[in-house]
Amino acid sequence: MKKIILLHLFAAMVFSAAAQLKVHHLLTENKPNPLGVDAAQPRFSWQLDAGNRRNVLQTAYELVIQTDDGQPVWRTGKMATPQSVLVPFKGPALASGKRYNWQVRVWDNAGNASDWSEPSFWQMGLLKPSDWKAQWIEPGFAEEATRPSPLLRKEFSIAKKLKRATAYITAHGLYEAYLNGSRIGDAYFTPGWTSYNKRLQYQAYDVTGQLQQGANAVGAALASGWYRGNLAWGGNRDIYGKDIALLMQLQLEFEDGTTEQIVTDGSWKSSTGAIRSSEIYHGEKVDARLDQPGWNKPGFNDASWTGVKTAANAKEVLVATYNEPIRKKETFAPVKIFTTPKGEQVIDFGQNLVGWAEVKVRGASGQQIILSHAEVLDKAGNFYITNLRAANSRDTFILKGGGEEVLAPTFTWHGFRYLKVEGYPGTLNKDDFEAVALYSDMPVAGKFTSSNELINQLQHNIEWGQRGNFLDVPTDCPQRDERLGWTGDAQVFSRTAMFNMNVHSFFTKWMQDVSADQIDGAVPFVVPNVLGAGSVASAGWADAATIIPWNMYLAYGDTGILQQQYGSMKAWVEHMRRKSKNDLWNTGFHFGDWLFYRPDDDNDGRAAVTDKYLVAQCFYAHSTQLLINAAKVLGKKADVLQYTALLQKIKDAFRKEYMTPSGRLVSGTQTAYVLALQFDMLPEALRKGATERLAENVKSYGTHLTTGFLGTPYLCEVLSRNGQADVAFALLLREQYPSWLFPVKMGATTIWERWDGQKPDSSFQTPGMNSFNHYAYGAIGDWMYRTVAGLDTEEDGPGYKHIRMKPLTGGNFNHIAATLQTYYGPVTSGWKREEANFNMDVVIPANTQASVFIPAPSVNAVREGGLALSQNGAIKVIGFHNGYVQVKIGSGSYQFTATGSGTATTSAKR
Ligand code: BGC
């Protein structure tokens, strides 16, 4: 009897252990079930769910791939490897337009096997130009000067039973497409922005549900967008061409195995409708009286429409979309409707956001309503748009009349918090107005909270800076006549961006445009480059080419991005090498430490001017270092040797030119010392002194920062890593100008371009350069996550395969918690101070390991889950060093408590 019970128990244990290993969260090329994949070897990722078991590692996996009609494609067999992220497909060549299903099962280090996962799928895109049977088409009528949005349509009929229909669409300009009157997909501003002449993305949509047997109609509206609208300054437009065009292919697969294509060709018709003009900078004009109801449905009488012109536009440049589409995201109701001192009617949505307003209205035909957009009110409380420069950020609507109408633009967006409403019939009612945020729909990755509400608001502002400016490309600002892919801004913010959202696909796409637009290796100021061949190679801007891929490798463990970008990284370093003399890169134009601190009345020279060539030499070294790092990962031994030798020469040249023998730099600024320390420009022996000089410099200003775009991202990091954490916390927590919290105290809901966009007396900085939604200074988010919350990855296990968790206490915080969704699952590092106790909550996902550093007076002072560490089999104690107990743990949730660490050292060398 006893034996039987034991057997049962054993069986139950085996069963429950097996039940505790599941595999889920399947991704193909970082996306769940993507359509339109053109990677020849798509990469698969999955997560292990091991319930609350600890120390779970994958020991093997098996993948099986079939066509969606069940034909076997590839089976890996049991692969004895821990790899669960970005596992490449190595089966036979994949076919254009085909859908494939895949499943995975895994084994773990406790001998468990999972069941097969739920199936996941991906669908290939159109892989060769010849797969496009569609022809480019342009409207057939002569265009008016205001460039109304053309409408294009065609009817067709379906006789057989449909199994699946896929629409492949792109445009010169922007498009919005319809089937039988309903919009195709939920993506906006398609096809997005790339270096169009070299790479033009198309989108793939599953439209099976939008078609019907019998009569069908397909239609599309076009607009100028980035392709030929106003872009950059001085009325610059038609950058990529004068004519907009559509390319669309509807691929129909029938139940009987046959296929058919409905394509853009000379049989389509064209006209215009309600959208009379549309510009990214200058808003939209919509005359609803000119709407053509039913134009995108079957049975519409298009006898008065013109034909179309086919165009011989390139198809060789077509590529599948890699990044997430722009979608409608949060909506905001008015928090206040008021009349300004000037007598204007204004709505406050409470958040500076990027998108548009949607307005319900009833009025007479011909009634004109104008919606203008502003980020801020001026000192007197009036609607302020001078900082938008030449951007005429307003939408004009002429009502059709005869019932409720919903007003919203289609092909433009605005950066705004305040909406000025003119011509609205009747009083403004809160329920009739809504602000809609639109941005690239990247998965949310991180969450950061603390006991300090101002810091929480700062984190909110950083996130909203990202939401507003990650609009298919990383832009500097979303509101004025700029909105360009400034490379410097993108690189300084990139690591922070990776904490807030999963930007893997977003940057993978943009980095290809960086490569595509390099000129003789030189990286443009903006990508896509719309400023011309002379606007390239500024230090700290061009280094986006090396910094972002390396950051992505660390955050996502993706060696593919290094492979993809290696040529570009190397070309950039080689460009600097060619421009250097005796290993000193001191030529050419540089933005330098853009927007650094400079007081108005600078009698005793407090402006923090850093020598631009000193900055350039630091970035030359840094990019070379990152190239070496990438070469090591990719096994390019000759390059490692070659560039290591070059790096030494670059540093020697730096020391000779910009440093005295005792380590004083020619520019005594914070940025000079920060860059020199961060990029290891100084001999080891002189670093301590340099950090002291940096800390003294900060204190000489009454403890405030003076850094611009280039110094700011590393300022606190350099201080805390070199034993000056108190100074770093003082900078973070300072509330007066200049500081991160000054805008917060002034009511900011996003990051400002300048430390004093709005001055302490509420007046504004010069309007020529004063955006209130500019993420660069939000780069402090990286330090908050990685150093203060202590959530980091080891370089030898990038992508959080080997987690490093070392919180930095101080700054009067009682509590800080950060969670990050990694490819392995969520990682949490949270700590709380309770009287003399320090509690640390840690979550480590399955198939990873972590080095955790617990602030504590000794090993014996630390318990986990109530047990002493020595009694805790799941935890390996490494030792005690500099105020931290270091342990090594596997996956699972852990609650560490350290007694007597109420006064944990804040200035410990990390
Ligand atoms: C942009 C930037 C950019 C800078 C270059 C500005 O107009 O808004 O953020 O990096 O120019 O100096």
| Cα dihedral across residues 569, 570, 575, 581: positive or negative | positive
Task: List C-alpha distances in Å: 341 to 336, 337, 416, 428.
Answer: 15, 13, 20, 17
State the closest ligand 1 atom to the C-alpha of 525, by its place in the atom list counted from 1. 5
Q: Maximum CA pair distance of the chain?
A: 95
Q: Which residue, judged by its Cα, is nearest atom 5 of ligand 1?
A: 591
Assess whether pLDDT exceeds 80 at residue 903.
Answer: no
Token couple for 760: 């302490």
**Distance (Å) from CA 481 to ligand 1 centroid:** 12
Task: List C-alpha distances in Å: 411 to 123, 190, 468, 682.
Answer: 28, 9, 16, 51
**Tokens 């996962």, residue located:** 117
Three-state secondary-structure class, residue 549: helix
pLDDT number for residue 17 = 45
**Distance (Å) from CA 240 to ligand 1 centroid:** 22
Three-state secondary-structure class, residue 766: coil
pLDDT tens string 728-752: 999 999 999 999 999 999 999 999 9
State the closest ligand 1 atom to the C-alpha of 541, by its place in the atom list counted from 1. 10
pLDDT tens string 330-377: 999 999 999 999 999 999 999 999 999 999 999 999 999 999 999 999
| Contact by Cβ (8 Å): 155, 289 | no
**Distance (Å) from CA 195 to ligand 1 centroid:** 19
Assess whether pLDDT exceeds 80 at residue 42.
Answer: yes
Mean pLDDT of the chain: 96
Q: What is the mean pLDDT of residues 104-110?
A: 98
Catalytic residue list contains 482: yes
Assess whether pLDDT exceeds 90 at residue 2.
Answer: no
Token couple for 385: 């748009």
**Distance (Å) from CA 348 to ligand 1 centroid:** 28
Assess whether pLDDT exceeds 70 at residue 905.
Answer: no
**Distance (Å) from CA 736 to ligand 1 centroid:** 25
Find out whether the peptide bond into 528 is cis, omega within 30 degrees of 0. yes
**Distance (Å) from CA 423 to ligand 1 centroid:** 36
Assess whether pLDDT exceeds 90 at residue 649.
Answer: yes
**Distance (Å) from CA 523 to ligand 1 centroid:** 15
Assess whether pLDDT exceeds 90 at residue 7.
Answer: no
**Tokens 């309770």, residue located:** 834
| Contact by Cβ (8 Å): 521, 508 | no
Assess whether pLDDT exceeds 60 at residue 524.
Answer: yes
Catalytic residue among 405, 434, 753, 864: 753
The DSSP string of 220-234 is EEEE-HHHHS--SST
Sorted by sequence, the CB contacts under 8 Å of residue 6 that are 6+ apart come out as none
pLDDT tens string 791-807: 999 999 999 999 999 99
| Contact by Cβ (8 Å): 361, 425 | yes
| Contact by Cβ (8 Å): 342, 385 | no
Tell me the C-alpha distance between 39 and 32, whole Å.
15
Token couple for 609: 């001017």
- Determine what percent of the chain is predicted with pLDDT higher than 70: 97
**Distance (Å) from CA 526 to ligand 1 centroid:** 9
- Determine what percent of the chain is predicted with pLDDT higher than 90: 95
Ligand 1 pocket, CB under 6 A: 476-477, 482, 486, 488-489, 591, 594
Token couple for 343: 């007598």
Q: Which residue, judged by its Cα, is nearest atom 9 of ligand 1?
A: 476
| Contact by Cβ (8 Å): 599, 668 | no
Q: What is the mean pLDDT of residues 852-873?
A: 95
pLDDT number for residue 835 = 84
Q: Which residue, judged by its Cα, is nearest atom 12 of ligand 1?
A: 591
Phi, psi dihedral angles at 588 (to 5 degrees):
85, 175
CB-based burial, 878-910: b 16+ in 10 Å, e otherwise:
eebeebbbbbebbbbebebbbbebeebbbbbeb
Candidate from 233, 389, 476 with most ligand 1 atoms within 8 A of CB, to mutate: 476
State the closest ligand 1 atom to the C-alpha of 487, by its place in the atom list counted from 1. 10
State the closest ligand 1 atom to the C-alpha of 594, by its place in the atom list counted from 1. 12
Tell me the C-alpha distance between 730 and 725, whole Å.
8
Task: List C-alpha distances in Å: 394 to 149, 291, 328, 389, 419.
Answer: 17, 20, 19, 13, 9
Catalytic residue among 279, 482, 717, 864: 482
Assess whether pLDDT exceeds 60 at residue 719.
Answer: yes
Candidate from 594, 596, 754 with most ligand 1 atoms within 8 A of CB, to mutate: 594
Q: Which residue, judged by its Cα, is nearest atom 8 of ligand 1?
A: 476
pLDDT tens string 581-595: 999 999 999 999 999
**Tokens 């969450």, residue located:** 447
pLDDT number for residue 909 = 42
| Contact by Cβ (8 Å): 613, 667 | no
State the closest ligand 1 atom to the C-alpha of 709, by its place in the atom list counted from 1. 10
Assess whether pLDDT exceeds 60 at residue 652.
Answer: yes
State the closest ligand 1 atom to the C-alpha of 489, by its place in the atom list counted from 1. 10
pLDDT tens string 73-93: 999 999 999 999 999 999 999
Q: Which residue, judged by its Cα, is nearest atom 4 of ligand 1?
A: 486
**Distance (Å) from CA 476 to ligand 1 centroid:** 7
Candidate from 231, 479, 486 with most ligand 1 atoms within 8 A of CB, to mutate: 486
pLDDT number for residue 901 = 62
State the closest ligand 1 atom to the C-alpha of 753, by its place in the atom list counted from 1. 9
Task: Determine how β-strand 200-206 pairs with β-strand 318-320.
Answer: parallel
pLDDT tens string 803-857: 999 999 999 999 999 999 999 999 999 999 988 899 999 999 999 999 999 999 9
Catalytic residue list contains 422: no
Assess whether pLDDT exceeds 70 at residue 13.
Answer: no
pLDDT tens string 599-632: 989 999 999 999 999 999 999 999 999 999 999 9
Q: Which residue, judged by its Cα, is nearest atom 3 of ligand 1?
A: 486
Tell me the C-alpha distance between 220 and 222, whole Å.
7
Q: What is the mean pLDDT of residues 43-52?
A: 96
| Contact by Cβ (8 Å): 255, 124 | no
* Minimum mean pLDDT range among 411-415, 470-474, 872-876: 872-876
**Distance (Å) from CA 580 to ligand 1 centroid:** 25
| Contact by Cβ (8 Å): 889, 707 | no
State the closest ligand 1 atom to the C-alpha of 477, by its place in the atom list counted from 1. 8
